Amino acid sequence: MKNIRIKQFTTVMMIILIALQLQAESPINDSFLKNINTDGDETSCAVTGNYEYFIFARKVKGETNSDLFFTEFKNKKWTEPKNATVLNSDSDEISPYISADGKFLLFSSNRPGSLKKMSVDKPSYDIYFSEKNGDEWSKPELLFGAVNTADDEINPFITNDGTALYFTRSPANDSSRTTVIRVSSTNDSWEDVRTAGVSKNNTVEIYMYKKSAFRSGSFASGFRKDDPKNRDIFFIDDPDSAISEIEGLKNPVNSSGDEISITELTDSSVIISSNTNGINGSYDFFIIKTGKEVLKTVPELFTLRINSADYKKTDEIKIKILYFKSLGKNSWPVRFETKTPDPAGIINIKADSDTKRILAIPAGSGVKTFAVEFFTGKNKIHTAEIKLEPATETEFTPQYIYFNFNSSEIRLNHIPYLHSLIEYLRKNESSQLILEGYSDGIGSYKANIDISLRRAERVKDYLIKSGIKKDRIQTRGSGYNKEKRSDTTQYNRRVELTIINQ
C-alpha cells in the first residue's frame, strides 16, 4: 500500500511541477541561502513543489555526523532552520528526497538497524522513509523491497511518475566506486533491481544521479575517471548519450573544489553543494543557472596501455593519435597529436563530441608498426593494450600497400607505414615518389585500369592531406599485370612505391 501512496504523491508532483513552470520567481534565492549556509557542511537538500518546505543535510562544525534540518516558508518569509529531531539519530543522516506535496521523505543513514557485513562493526548506509502526518514526520523505517544491502545505498530519488527509484550503491564506506541502481515499483514494493545504463559510461564515476523534472535527461555529480580528486556536476541527455558538464555562469560549478550534490530548483536553475567559496572552506549551497547555453560535452575517455620491456623510460616512447570525424575508412584525420605514456605506461585519449574514430600508431620509425583503432559511442571498447617492440630495420624501405577486392580503401594495417613514409618524405624534401596501382584479373580491362588508378590516387590523397606537396608524387594505373604463375589475386590488388632520390 505504501507504493500506492507514493504514486499518488508523485502524480500530485507532476501537476505541481507544471504549475511551477508558470511561476515567475521562486522564494529560494541567494538571500535565502545566506540564512542556510554556515561554517559547518551543508551537503545535500530537497524542496517541495510549491517551494515552501526546504530540507537539507548539515554537519555542524565540530560534530562527526550530519543531521537533517528544515525551514518553512510561512507568511511570506522563511522560518529559522530547525533540527528535524524525529528524523535524526546519533549517526549520519544525509541525501534527503521529498515528494512534491511534502508528505513523503527518503534519506540515507548508517544508524543502528542498517544492514552490515559480518566483517565490519559499523552499519552501512541504508535508505529510510518517513511520512508526514499533519506537521509531524513519522518514525523513520527501512525502505521496503529489494533496495537495502550491506553496501552503502545513498542519494535516493523517485521519478515523477513514481515507477522508478534511483540511488547510488558503493562498497561500505568507499564512495570512490559507485553504481547507479534503478529499482522498479512492482506489486506495491520496490523490486526488479537493475544497474542503470548510465553507470556503463567510461567518463564519470557517478556519486549522485537525478532525473530532471523539467527536461529530458538527468543531472549527476561524480568523479571524472581521468582526474578523480574532486566531484563535478554533469548533465546526461539519456543513459546512452555522452555526459555533458554544466559550465556554470559563475563559480563554484566545476571548480577546483568538490561539487558534492545537485538539486533541481526550476527549469533554469539548480542548487549545488560545493566547498569552493564556502564559509571557511566548508560545503555550502549555491544557486546556478542551467540553460542550454551552459551545457557542453565532456570528452569521451579512451585508455591505451603500453607494454614494453625494451624501453627503460616511458618518455622515450612516442605515440601518434589521429582523430576522425567520420567512420569511413577513406576519411582523413581532422587533427593529430603525439603523446607519451605516463610512468605506469598509460596514455589517456580524450575524444570530443565530433570525434567518431581514433587511431593510435607509432610516432617514429624506431618501433615495429602497429595500429589501434577506437570508436566513440555506447557499447564500444575504450581500453586497449599494445606490446611495443623495437624495429629490426633502421633504414626506410618501400613496401606494397594492399587492398580488398574492388576497393580503394586504405586498410588499417597500412596506416602506420604510410605515416613512416610521410616522415621520410618530410626529412628528404628532394625525394620524389611514384605510386603504381594494380588490380586482380577479375573484371574488364577498363574496370581494372580504373580501380588500379583509384588505389594509387587514394594513397596520393592521403599523403597530400598530411602535408606532402602533390608535385612530388606521380600516379599510374596499370590494371592487371600478373608477373608469375604463383601470384595471388590479393598480391595483385596493390600499390607499389618507387622513391627517387635527387
Q: Tens digits of per-residue pLDDT, 285-343?
A: 999 888 755 666 677 788 888 887 766 677 778 899 999 888 876 678 888 899 988 88
Q: Other C-beta atoms within 10 Å of 485: how many?
A: 5
Residue 251 has pLDDT above 60, yes or no: no
Digit-coded pLDDT (tens) for 361-407: 888 767 788 888 888 875 566 788 888 887 766 667 888 999 988 88
Long-range contact set of residues 19-22: C-beta below 8 Å, sequence gap at least 24? 19/49, 20/49, 20/50, 20/51, 20/266, 21/214, 21/266, 21/267
Q: Name residue 339's amino acid.
A: K
User: Looking at the structure, do residues 331 and 441 belong to the same domain, yes or no?
Assistant: no
ω into 140 cis (within 30 of 0)? no
User: Looking at the structure, do residues 317 and 303 belong to the same domain, yes or no?
Assistant: yes
CATH at 476: 3.30.1330.60
Q: What mean pLDDT is reported for the chain? A: 84
Helices (H), 234-331: none
pLDDT band at 14 (very low <50, low <70, confident <90, very high): very low
User: Looking at the structure, do residues 190 and 216 belong to the same domain, yes or no?
Assistant: yes
User: Looking at the structure, do residues 215 and 202 belong to the same domain, yes or no?
Assistant: yes
Q: If you average pLDDT over each of 254-268, 367-381, 452-466, which comes out highest?
A: 452-466
- DSSP string of 381-423, one letter each residue: --EEEEE--B-S--S-----EE--TT--PPPGGGHHHHHHHHH
pLDDT of residue 459: 93
Q: Name residue 90's amino acid.
A: D
Question: Residue range 129-154: average pLDDT?
Answer: 93
Q: What residues make up the domain containing 261?
A: 2-297
Residue 5 has pLDDT above 60, yes or no: no
Chain centroid offset of residue 140 CA: 35
Nearest partner of 153 among 92, 108, 95, judged by Cα: 108
pLDDT band at 93 (very low <50, low <70, confident <90, very high): very high
pLDDT of residue 395: 65
CATH at 380: 2.60.40.1120
Question: Residue range 337-361: average pLDDT?
Answer: 87
User: Looking at the structure, do residues 381 and 431 belong to the same domain, yes or no?
Assistant: no
The residue out of 331, 366, 394 marking a domain boundary is 394
Question: Residue range 5-31: average pLDDT?
Answer: 55
Residue 144, all three cell numbers = 521496503
CATH at 184: 2.120.10.30
Nearest partner of 160 among 16, 2, 25, 4, judged by Cα: 16
The residue out of 297, 331, 354 marking a domain boundary is 297
Give the chain's domain count.
3
Residue 383, all three cell numbers = 581500453
User: Looking at the structure, do residues 307 and 292 belong to the same domain, yes or no?
Assistant: no
User: Looking at the structure, do residues 291 and 303 belong to the same domain, yes or no?
Assistant: no
Residue 12 DSSP SS3: helix
- In terms of pLDDT, which residue wins out, 144 or 32? 32
User: Looking at the structure, do residues 405 and 356 belong to the same domain, yes or no?
Assistant: no
Q: Name residue 220's amino acid.
A: A
Nearest partner of 151 among 168, 137, 135, 139, judged by Cα: 168
pLDDT of residue 147: 92
CA quadruple 233, 237, 241, 244: dihedral positive or negative?
negative
Nearest partner of 398 among 414, 409, 387, judged by Cα: 414
Burial 414-437 (b: 16+ CB within 10 A, else e): bbbbbbbbebbbeeeeeeebebbb
Considering only 122-126, 264-268, 453-457, which range has the smallest mean pLDDT? 264-268
Residue 16 has pLDDT above 60, yes or no: no
Residue 125 DSSP SS3: coil
CA quadruple 204, 208, 214, 216: dihedral positive or negative?
positive
User: Looking at the structure, do residues 359 and 411 belong to the same domain, yes or no?
Assistant: no
Question: Residue range 145-166: average pLDDT?
Answer: 90
User: What are the helix and strand counts (H, E) for the chain?
Assistant: 5, 33
pLDDT of residue 275: 93
By percentage, how much of the chain surpasses pLDDT 90?
Answer: 38
Q: Map grid coordinates 580504373 to a residue.
A: 450
Going across the sheet that includes 401-402, the strands are: 401-402, 494-500, 432-439, 473-480
Residue 491, all three cell numbers = 598480391
Question: Residue range 44-66: average pLDDT?
Answer: 95
Residue 257 has pLDDT above 50, yes or no: yes
Burial 85-94 (b: 16+ CB within 10 A, else e): eebbeebbbb
Residue 84 DSSP SS3: coil
CA angle 171, 177, 183 (to 5 degrees): 70
Q: Map grid coordinates 595483385 to a residue.
A: 492
**C-alpha span between 362 and 397 (Å, rounded):** 16
Residue 197 has pLDDT above 90, yes or no: no
User: Looking at the structure, do residues 282 and 318 belong to the same domain, yes or no?
Assistant: no
User: Looking at the structure, do residues 103 and 190 belong to the same domain, yes or no?
Assistant: yes
Digit-coded pLDDT (tens) for 329-346: 667 888 889 998 888 888
User: Looking at the structure, do residues 33 and 158 belong to the same domain, yes or no?
Assistant: yes
The residue out of 297, 312, 338 marking a domain boundary is 297
